[in-house]
Amino acid sequence: MRMLRVIVSAAVAAVLVSGQALAGMGQPTPWQIGLQDAATPVMENIVWFHNFLLWVITIITLFVLALLVIVIVRFNARKNPVPSRTTHHTLLELAWTLIPVVILVSIAIPSFKLLFFQGTIPNADITIKATGNQWNWTYSYPDAKIEFTSIMLNEEERAKASPPPPRLLGVDNPIYVPVNKVVRVQVIGADVIHSFAVPSFGIKIDAVPGRLNETWFQATREGVYYGQCSELCGKDHAFMPIEVRVVSEQAYAAWLDEAKKKFAVDDRGAPRTVAAADQVR
């Protein structure tokens, strides 16, 4: 009885804590349970599918538990000294064949729809190429002819930022994208396999040397969203974060004008200042 009280108290505490431990928008939260808040249509679908599967798994688990309890209570040797000699039961055999098929089909249909939705990239408003390096990311905007490397802030740099970004997630040069625009992300590795992942966007794709993979997102809410390399890429694997700032179209245009002055490259991908110097020589 005492053990039951402990279990019930723990369950109640977990429920109460869960109300304060929901995942935040764009970054992990202390004592978080569940997925980060969705900021794209893809992630909204992922969250729905996750919750749907949780209900399915819970119902199956409770059903199996009920069957086990019935067997233990009704068919133990003391209450049922003469076991049944039944060898076939047509209705039961049909049920345990058809019910799992129905369950699997009910899971497969939304699963395939989600995979198709993730894999079909709509007409993009912006294209960003992300190159994974040991151990940072290089981003280029081919249409705007800009390229820059994004490196994690150290503790001193992080303390100077206002407000300070989350530890191990803030970078010196974040990605900027406008809200409600379709962004195609092309991903490749420069040296080893990396993985570009932003949980609130529902994207995670490997950056493989010599192979250009791509994914997409459409952020529907302004804010700062964090991700990390999700592949074991070497000793500093934990120190190559991803920071995406979703801003208004006006703010994005202002940032783009400034970025063209600071990060401009020529058609060969070289900084324009270097290209100009080569021409003088």
Structure tokens at 202: 């529902």
How buried is residue 128: exposed, middle or buried, by Cβ count under 10 Å (0-12/13-18/19+)?
buried
Average pLDDT over residues 2-18: 42
**Domains (ranges, CATH) in the chain?**
23-81+88-119 (1.10.287.90), 126-280 (2.60.40.420)
- Phi and psi at 228, nearest 5°, equal -150, 165
Average pLDDT over residues 76-97: 85
Cite the DSSP H helix spans in the chain.
2-20, 41-74, 90-119, 155-160, 249-262, 272-280
Whose CA is closest to 197, among 213, 220, 180, 221? 213
What per-residue confidence (pLDDT) applies to 74?
Answer: 87
> Has residue 23 got a pLDDT over 90?
no
- pTM for the full predicted model: 0.82
What per-residue confidence (pLDDT) applies to 20?
Answer: 41
pLDDT in tens, 56-83: 999 999 999 999 999 899 888 888 888 8
Question: What gap in Å lies between CA 47 and CA 52, rounded to an integer?
Answer: 9
pLDDT in tens, 140-160: 999 999 999 999 999 999 999
> Has residue 39 got a pLDDT over 70?
yes
Average pLDDT over residues 264-270: 74
**281 pLDDT tier (thresholds 50, 70, 90):** very low
Contact 17, 28 (CB under 8 A): no
pLDDT in tens, 208-250: 999 999 999 999 999 999 999 999 999 999 999 999 999 999 9
Structure tokens at 229: 């390399």
Average pLDDT over residues 167-194: 96
> Has residue 46 got a pLDDT over 70?
yes
What per-residue confidence (pLDDT) applies to 269?
Answer: 65
pLDDT in tens, 119-145: 999 999 999 999 999 999 999 999 999
Average pLDDT over residues 38-62: 96
147: which residues sit within 8 A by CB, 6+ positions away?
138, 139, 140, 141, 263, 265, 269
